[in-house]
Amino acid sequence: MNSDKPLNVVIACGGTGGHLFPGIAVAEQLRRKGHRPVLLISRKEVDAQASSKYGDFEFRTLEAVGMPRLLSPKIFPFAWKFCRTCSACRSILKELQTDVVLGMGGFTSLPPVRAAHNMGLRAYVHDSNALPGKANRLTSRWCDAVLLGMQEAAHYFPHRRCLITGTPVRAELELPIERAEARKRFGLDTNRPVILAMGGSQGARQINTIVSETAALESGVQFLLLTGGADYERVAGLVASMPQVRALPFCEDMASAYAAADAVIARSGASSLTELSALGKASLLVPYPFAADDHQTHNARVYSANGAARMLRQEEFTSIALRAFIHEVVLEPAALHAMEQAALARAGRASSSLIAFVLENDSLPQEP
């Protein structure tokens, strides 16, 4: 296989930020190597909002296809929509003279990968989680290999070729930013600890409420609170009299947000965990309880078992529990440093480079 030939690569990465941002990271690497990446995203608002700052990339939109349960009456309209989306994918792949397709996970990846397989093109799916989703297990049937973010997931694909690549992180997040400068960008005191709190690409009402309640009791700690658009007005009212809280509906400068923070409160989607480990951030993880197959809890357990984070189920996440994390970790330099080092230890090799190599050569590079 000639890796010197520029490739036309289609990356299906829509649906959530956890699929989109790793896909963008791979696209960045491919473009640096002279290839042409095109990103397929859904028509959801979250995809449009998150991709808007990457206007120098070529995006195509597809109708989102989420599979219902087999015995659901919704299975019939799903089948019709799925066939229609597969047909649209074939047209896109032909138009772009595609060489290889990469799905970054979820049902958005299934139609492009299936279309690629039927056209005789190489195809791969990437799964970031410790517990792979049903969509990826189904998609893997039509893949040349499954690319995994965590070794723990390999046994869920017993009859597939698995390559451990890690999960890509956008290059912008790894740019060096001074902590004091980052805090100034958000109007935060440069000398007091900062906790970044975020509930995922669309926010989380309970996390927002508990952080707001805790901030009223912990004036020595500052919070950078990413609320999500739907909950911003409510939270802005709750924290209006608290100068130690900076609430934003959405943050386009996540590199500065991470740089400003001593610790992070987050869900435990695989993409977020990868960013936390790459940047060496201590964290309190609150898995989203309605995630498919409860995979976020599995992810969080992997990190908490290695001392890279603390985990609380959503019903356990209270102001008392958050204050305990603040006093036992955030305000304790030794404990904070130990968790940061454990997070860094979870970081893998340069994942974007590994995935680009696989797309070029259908294999991982040999260890030196």
Are 127 and 146 within 8 A, CB to CB? yes
Cα 102 from Cα 227, distance rounded (Å): 31
Question: What span, in angstroms and rounded, lies between the C-alpha atoms of 295 and 228?
Answer: 22
Query: Using CA atoms, how far apart are residues 319 and 295, in angstroms rounded to an integer?
Result: 25
Q: How far apart are CA 96 and CA 106, in angstroms?
A: 23
The predicted-structure confidence for 167-194, as pLDDT tens digits, reads as follows: 998 888 888 899 999 999 999 999 999 9
Q: Please tell me the chain's helix, strand, coil percentages from 3-state DSSP, rounded to the nearest 5.
A: 45, 15, 35
pLDDT tens digit string along 56-105? 899 998 876 666 665 667 666 767 787 888 899 999 999 999 999 999 98
Enumerate residues 6+ apart whose C-beta is below 8 A from 149: 126, 127, 128, 129, 165, 166, 167, 270, 274, 351
More confident residue, 77 or 343: 343
Task: Tell me the C-alpha distance between 195 and 19, whole Å.
Answer: 25
Q: Say which residue the tokens 């985990």 belong to.
A: 311
- AA letter at 291: A
The pair of structure tokens assigned to 110 is 């299934």
- Residues 18-70 pLDDT 10s: 888 899 999 999 999 999 999 999 888 778 877 888 888 999 988 766 666 65
Place of tokens 């923070």: 261
Let me know: does 262 contact 235? Beta carbons within 8 Å: no
Are the C-beta atoms of 300 and 285 separated by less than 8 Å? Answer: yes
- The whole-number average pLDDT for the span 276-281 is 94
Q: What is the mean pLDDT of the chain?
A: 90
pLDDT value at residue 216: 93
Q: What angle do CA 34, 129, 87 make, to 5 degrees?
A: 60
Q: State what percent of residues in the chain have pLDDT above 90.
A: 68
Contact 40, 60 (CB under 8 A): yes
Q: Is the pLDDT of residue 127 over 90?
A: yes
pLDDT of the residue at 349: 63
Predicted TM-score (pTM) of this structure: 0.81
- Would you state the pLDDT for residue 69? 64
Instruction: Look up residue 328 and give its DSSP letter.
Output: I
CB 51 within 8 A of CB 79: no
Compute the residue count for the chain. Answer: 368
pLDDT at 271: 84
Q: How confident is the model at residue 348 (pLDDT cuts 50, 70, 90)?
A: low
* Closest of 120, 47, 108 to residue 82, by C-alpha: 108
Between residues 107 and 226, the one the model is more confident about: 226
- 281-326 tens-digit pLDDT: 999 999 998 877 788 999 999 999 999 999 999 999 999 999 999 9
pLDDT over 70 percentage in the chain: 93
